[in-house]
Structure 1
């Protein structure tokens, strides 16, 4: 089934600005549907001259008449004359009778979509007349304001050409609270939820008949943060978003200027939403993230301290065998510390493995430089991001394999290359570690890494690959010479 973007993209005669205008229309028209207690349908004329539904919007404030998706379908024959009237006359048109849609009696109104004095399509407002029974003041104010916004579509005033979007945009709904302003910025109507928002700020007086800017600034204290966009919203002169954070509450708001039939601004609709609890939870999450990052940072520092102690102990020992074991332990602890360093810089408990593994493996080949060898390490592919549950054992596996290649694969040689290739698909990870060294006989015993010292490196690789990752490890010759290790693993906690 074709979607909205495909339908308008295939319409010849539309320029990019026309398509952008329609995209902005359908991104903003939910407020019209909710205020009007009606469904909206956007119709365009295709290249064959037929009218098709390009998009639709269901009201969230009333039961929808649109029980199925109509996008891409032709419109009903009985409403084509009204659509053509809106197209040709460039004014809002109506049917002279109600229609039956299923078991619902529907009133249809048609507004041409105007941009730069050109008709791009028609928006149909479908109202279930059963919802017009027993309307109170709130419903009447909603419907009246919705009609004003709907009529602005045919004036080329909706959507708005320019908007001031805040750094923290909010999905404001009519049901969250709204007020209607006069052209001078005086509150003519405030919904119950809008009144509740201002009660939360501390305003206990009547809102209607007062300037919105005055009511709001009375509740702003010296230390409260006041964004520059707030004045635009409170005056209602611009389409703008803003947010007011006071010591008592946080209030998100959005202004939508209202224009009359002569395209003169004569009021505004201002939407409100109490986001106090949302912001409080955000602060709690930020505090939690900062605490976790600090924990990882301290763990890294402690591990580095242990690594430094092992390094000092290795320098003081007189046994070559003990010194080698201490150096191996120091390298493994440094590997784990590097993972925690990466986690301390992330807010979501994941580490970008591609940024830490080069430095880790560089440590593995440092011993070769001490012996006068030049061993290079190259990477192909990407590991991606992963949590510590996967990153720590994977880093140990790779450093053990590289260390094994350095210690056993390049004996008697002055230079060489180790290449690590990674292929990631979801939680499946394939890794190939290959070198151009002396060959398998020097690097493996019985299909595993040749033991060094106590053989702990062999146990680490075997345990993590097979038990933790449920994977396999295969050793094979690399052509024309060297060794190739193929790992197939399932990352446990990868996103």
Structure 2
């Protein structure tokens, strides 16, 4: 199914909400195609082609009559007069010929004008195969009557309804899952075999036909405190809503479609679907997500304990070099713990790195040299980063900020800047550039051996982040370190 939106947008005759109503029609007309056992096409006026096909849907309950896609094409000459007649009369028109569209195929074609606020907005054509000579079953006759009732409502502007469910929760019932037709009092007039089976799984062993669906549903509920407040309106067919009922470990999704004419509601359709397995899997995912969050939380707690032990050990050290080494190890462990704390607060695979690094950036500068006054300024946006980037990048920034404070500023007041810039390369890769600058003494004239911190940085940048690292003199004095990497997750 596809739809061309440009003809709709460019049509000045449409009123407020008309285009949205046509989109709502195309979004829900699979239901009608399945009930009618017919292909449906949506036609819209076009100055060059008389009418153009905006959309086409094939039935899932029967074979299609059109294997090639004709969306965007003009209407055939033998179908145009029927569509024009329906457009002007605003009533359903049926072709008197059975071979319209294809001389080798016997089909019944109906043109249904979609009318809203007294104006015809488009015409739906229904194409049903008549080549089968067998007598239609009661199911087929009921389905086709339901399809006719819905299309008849379309000529009155009563269907589709803007109150119809458009939520994102999975498990929307379809015609093949189960259908019940109710009268105006909510009594079941017809129940498809799949619909009967769905309610049998809930515990109902009697026939549904001739019984009130509201009473049947009420008798099946074990815990009425958990009932959705919309359930009574759905099982009586009064409102076009969705709801779910659960009993004996079975979850049933219900959707009601009221049937109306120009004056009153005369019945309703209720679609039902057994979504027990779907809900079970969703609960498993929620449980697994909660478990992962708990693991991250416990790892964070354990790392904080390790950092506390290192801090206690450093206080007992008599050697300044040993004490400094333990303090650096403590800072690195605390950085990793901060990342796990962030991961434990959400379910997404991406991490909001800006929120994480704001705390880490200031903390790194303060802890690196608590005796001196260091200002920190951050610009740019990191955005959402893959979780497998978060820990190594946080460690790299921590080491570079610490290096800037300890060696760049060298026990004097100064400023450390952190900037992030995200862009897209010519090859379509997302690139992250991070720069850390200070206004300190600048690069040494004679390079000296790298310490453990810079060795850690180089290892993480090349092996974990797959990036490049470069040092340069900052204009105005000081040093700038630039890190560049492609945001391609390496977690797989």
Structure 1-normalised TM-score?
0.92
CA contact (8 A) 2:228 2:244 kept: yes
Aligned to 1:399: 398
Call closer, same or farther: CA 1:274–1:3 in 2, change over 3 Å. closer
Distance in 2 between residues matched to 1:3 and 1:477, nearest whole Å: 57
Q: Residues 171-216 of structure 1: CA distance to partner in whole angstroms, max 9, x if unpaired?
A: 2210011111111111111111111110110001111110111111
* Number of residues of Structure 1 aligned to a counterpart in Structure 2: 485
| Cα 1:422/1:494, change in 2 over 3 Å | farther
- Cα deviation for residue 166 of structure 1 reads 6.7
**Contact map agreement 2:386 2:489 (CA 8 A) in 1:** no
Asked if 1:143 is matched to 2:140, the reply is no
Secondary structure of 2:156's aligned partner: coil
Q: Distance in 2 between matches of 1:407 and 1:215?
A: 76
RMSD of the alignment, in Å? 2.3
Report the secondary structure of 1:130's partner residue: coil
Following TM superposition, by how much is the alpha carbon of 1:333 offset from its aligned partner in structure 2, in angstroms?
Answer: 0.3
Deviation at 1:355, TM superposition (A): 1.7
Per the alignment, do residues 58 and 436 of structure 1 end up closer, same or farther by CA in structure 2, a change over 3 Å counting?
farther
Q: Is the 8 A contact 1:9 1:19 kept in 2?
A: yes
Q: Retained in 2: the 8 A contact 1:224–1:245?
A: no
1:92-131 alignment runs, 5 A limit: 92-98=92-98, 99-101=100-102, 103-130=104-131
1:92-119 deviations in Å (ceiling 9; x for gaps)? 0121102243853332101111111111
**Equivalent pair of 1:250/1:274 in contact (CA under 8 Å):** yes
CA distance 1:354–1:105, change in 2 (3 Å): farther
Task: Provide Cα deviations, 1:293-320, integer angstroms capped at 9, x if missing partner.
Answer: 1111011011011111111222232221
What SS class does the counterpart of residue 78 from structure 2 fall into?
helix
Superimposed CA distance per residue, residues 8-61 of structure 1 (whole angstroms, 9 cap, x where no aligned partner): 111111123111211211112110011111111111113568211122222222
Question: Which residue of 1 is the match for residue 441 of structure 2?
Answer: 438
Instruction: Name the SS of the counterpart of 1:294 in structure 2.
Output: helix
Separation in 2 of the partners of 1:456 and 1:104?
A: 81
Q: Tell me the equivalent position of 1:30.
A: 30
Q: Compute the displacement of 1:167 (Å).
A: 8.1
Separation in 2 of the partners of 1:349 and 1:25?
A: 36
- Counterparts in 2 of 1:47 and 1:445: CA distance versus 1, 3 Å: farther
> Kindly tell me: are residues 264 and 131 of structure 1, through their superposed partners in 2, closer, same or farther at Cα, counting changes over 3 Å?
farther
Rounded Cα–Cα distance in structure 2 between residues aligned with 1:31 and 1:192: 17
Q: Secondary structure at the match of 1:142?
A: helix
Query: CA contact under 8 A between 1:431 and 1:488: conserved in structure 2?
Result: yes
> Counterpart of 2:106 in 1: which secondary structure?
strand
The 1:493/1:225 distance shift into structure 2, 3 A limit, reads farther
Partners of 1:40 and 1:224 in 2: CA distance: 43
| Structure 2: distance between partners of 1:102 and 1:281 | 50
Check 1:178–1:478 CA distance in 2 against 1; reply closer, same or farther (3 A cut).
same
Contact 1:165 1:240 in 2 (8 A): no
* Alpha-carbon distance, 1:123 to partner: 0.8
- Partner residue in 2 for 1:255: 256
Aligned position for 1:493? 490
Residue 76 of structure 1 deviates from its aligned partner by 0.7
Determine the structure 1 residue equivalent to 2:39: 39
Tell me if the contact between 2:239 and 2:257 (Cα under 8 Å) persists in the aligned partners. Answer: yes
Q: Using the alignment, how far apart are the partners of 1:5 and 1:401 within structure 2?
A: 52
Is there any run of 5+ residues in structure 1 with no aligned partner, and where? Answer: none
Q: Using the TM superposition, name which of 192-201 and 146-155 deviates more.
A: 146-155
Partner of 1:471: 467
CA pair 441-66 structure 1, distance change in 2 beyond 3 A: farther
Q: Is the 8 A contact 1:53 1:71 kept in 2?
A: yes
**TM-score normalised by structure 2 residue count:** 0.92
Greater displacement, 310-319 / 163-172: 163-172
Write the distance in 2 (CA, Å) between the matches of 1:7 and 1:481: 61
Inter-partner Cα distance in structure 2 for 1:445 and 1:58: 73
Name structure 2 gaps, 5 residues minimum: none
Deviates more, 1:338-347 or 1:163-172: 163-172
Whole-Å separation in 1 of the counterparts to 2:135 and 2:409? 89
Q: Is 1:382–1:424's contact at 8 Å kept on the other side of the alignment?
A: no
Are 2:11 and 1:15 aligned?
no
3-state secondary structure, aligned to 1:228: coil
- Please report how far the alpha carbon of residue 128 of structure 1 lies from its aligned counterpart in structure 2 after TM superposition: 2.2
Written as runs of structure 1 = structure 2, the 5 A alignment for 1:33-432 is 33-46=33-46, 50-98=50-98, 99-101=100-102, 103-130=104-131, 133-163=134-164, 168=169, 170-222=171-223, 225-260=226-261, 262-367=262-367, 370-387=370-387, 389-411=388-410, 413-423=412-422, 425=424, 428-432=431-435
Q: 2:472, 2:249 → 1: CA distance?
A: 68
Contact 1:38–1:58 (Cα < 8 Å) also in 2 = yes
Give the secondary structure class of the aligned counterpart of 1:101.
coil
> SS state of the match for residue 5, structure 2?
helix
- Is the 1:352–1:386 Cα contact (8 Å) retained in structure 2? no
Judged with a 3 Å threshold, the aligned counterparts in structure 2 of structure 1 residues 291 and 11 are, in CA distance, closer, same or farther, namely same
Could you tell me how far apart the structure 2 residues matched to 1:39 and 1:121 are? 16
